[in-house]
Each structure stands twice: as C-alpha cells, then as structure tokens.
Structure 1
Amino acid sequence: MKLIEINKKRYRAHLNRIITACILSLAIGSLGIAQTLIALFPSSSGSHFHWNLIGVIITSLCLGFILIKYKNHSFMAEVAYVWDLKQALNKITRKMRKVRQGVERGDIPAMQALNFYYAGSRQLWHLDDNNITLDELTLWQADLNSQAKKYNIVLDVSQYDVQILSNLN
C-alpha cells in the first residue's frame, strides 16, 4: 500500500454521510424486515425477538455487501483509502514484536515497515484529529531515525511492501 494525501474536509464529510446513511438504512431496513416477518408469521407468545434479530442480520449483510460493492466508487475514495490504511497498519501491529526486533538488529525491511507504520499512523491520527498522541509518535520516529542513521539506512515509506511482514524472522 502506498500513502497518499487526501483532503481531510472531503474525507470527514463523506465519512459522516456514509455513517448517517448506514444508520438510517439499518434502522429502516431492520424494522421493515422484522415487521414484515411478524406480519407473515405472528407469534402467540408476543415475543418477536428472533424476527427483530433476523431483520438486523439481513440488513447488516445487505449494507456490508453494498459497501464492498461500491468501495471503488469516487465518493468512497477517501473512506476506502482510510479503511485500507487501517487494515495495513493492523497487519504491522500484529507483527510489531518481530518488527521491533528486526529494527534493533538493523534489518532494513523491518525499519521500512516501522517507518511506514509511523507515517500511516501520523496521517490517520491527523485525519481523526488525534493530536494527543502525535507528540509520542514524533519521539518514536526520532528513535527509528537514529537507528537508521546508526546502520546507514535511508528510510522511505514508498519502500514498504506487505511482503516484508511475511519475511520477518
């Protein structure tokens, strides 16, 4: 994955619209499906929990399908990018112990992965207005830069490839 600059205002506006649409769709869809099922299959006990649950499940599956289908639509570009970025950072997080061990040994791919992680986290935290942890991130980046300097390595986020993680020992 490559890091790209995105318009924060556009991202926030589109994310808010998508969230609002999903909430409304979930409420209307699940209630509509549940009421239809209750009308078709009334219960003498008066409990319709299972029909309500089925309505929520069906609507959630439909929403998931729609979001995946339209993930590549231009309206979803920024939101989909952030979604993919979070997945990429999560993959690195799951291998973080090995990545940090590789950095300590001077392993170039591990340093590139950690550099990508820091750059991606910085972008993500900036988009989410999470300024509290940016100071810590600056310190972590400085530590990584000193390690890279120690081993004469030039860090470049464009050098990161997800295959790096599978090759870490």
Structure 2
Amino acid sequence: MQLIDIDKARYQKHLKIVFISCAAFLAVSSLAVSQTLIALFPDESGSHFHWNLLGVVVSAFTVGWLLNKYRRHDFMREVTYVWELKQALNKITRKMPKLEKAALEGNRDALLAMQYSYAGSRFLWQLDDNTLTLDELAIKQLELDRLAEQFDVTLTVADYDEKILAAF
C-alpha cells in the first residue's frame, strides 16, 4: 500500500459524517428492532434483555455490512484509505520487535518496513492532528536514518511491499 496525499479537510469532514451516521443508525435501528421484537414476542416476566441484545447485534451487523458495501464509493475514499493504512501499520507494529532486531543487523527489508511505518504514522498523526508524539517519532526516524547510512541502504517508502513482513 502506497502513501498518497489526501485532502485533510475532506477526510475529516467525511469521517465525522460517517461516524455520526453510524452512531445514529445504531441507536435508532437497535431500538426499532428490539421494540418491534418486544411488541411481537412480549415476555411476561418483563425481561427483554435478549431482544435488546438481538437489536444491537442486528444493527451492528447491518452497519458493518453497509460500510463494507460502500467502502469503494467516492465519498468513502479517504476514510477507507486511512482505515486500510492503519491496518497495514498495525501489521508492522506487531512485528516491530523482530524488525528492530533485524534492522540492527542491517536487514534492508526490516529497515524498509520501519521506514514505511514511521512515514505512515507521521502521515496519520498529522492527518488526525495528533502531533503529541511526533517528537518521539522524529528521534526514532533519526536512529533509523543512522542505521540506513551505516549499512549503506537507501530507504524509499514507495519500495515497501507488505509481503516482506512474512520473513519476520
């Protein structure tokens, strides 16, 4: 997955709309489903926990299905891209201890995966206005740059391919 420039304002606007729409849909539809089931199948004891739970489960499943169905729609382009980028970075993060060890030995793929992780994290944090940890990331980037220089490796984010993680 390549890092691409996206319109920050459009992303934030669409993310808010998607988030609020999902929350509203979950609230309204779970109540509608559970109340319909309670009306059709009343419980004499007054406990309708199972119908309420079923309403929430059906609504959550529906939201997930709708998000998946419309993930390639133009409106969802930035939101889906960020979601997929976060998943790709999470895969690297799970392998980071092994990557760091291999990077100290000069493994080009490990260095490249770390470079992609740092560049992707910087991109996401700036996109979400989460700049608190950028200083820590800058320190890690400097360490990575030193390792790349030490082992005479050129790191280009565009060269990263998720398949290289299989070796770690």
TM-score by length of 1: 0.98
Partner of 2:30: 30
Partner of 1:95: 95
Query: In the alignment, does 2:114 pair up with 1:114?
Result: yes
Residue identity matched to 2:87: Q
Determine the C-alpha separation between the residues in 2 that align with 1:143 and 1:6.
28
For 2:12, what is the secondary structure of its paired residue?
helix
Determine the C-alpha separation between the residues in 1 that align with 2:4 and 2:102.
26
Residue identity matched to 1:83: W
1:66-106 Cα deviation digits (max 9, x unpaired): 10111111000000001001100000011111110111000
TM-score by length of 2: 0.99
For 1:95, what is the secondary structure of its paired residue?
helix
C-alpha RMSD over aligned residues: 0.6
1:55-76 Cα deviation digits (max 9, x unpaired): 0000000100010111111000
Determine the C-alpha separation between the residues in 1 that align with 2:23 and 2:117.
31
Partner of 1:71: 71
Detail structure 1 runs of 4+ shifted over 2 Å in the superposition.
none
- Is there any run of 5+ residues in structure 1 with no aligned partner, and where? none
Determine the C-alpha separation between the residues in 2 that align with 1:50 and 1:80.
33
Question: What is the aligned-residue identity percentage?
Answer: 51
Alignment of 1:2-17 (within 5 A): 2-17=2-17
Determine the C-alpha separation between the residues in 2 that align with 1:107 and 1:55.
51
Partner of 1:149: 149
Determine the C-alpha separation between the residues in 1 that align with 2:148 and 2:75.
39
Partner of 1:18: 18
Alignment of 1:44-59 (within 5 A): 44-59=44-59
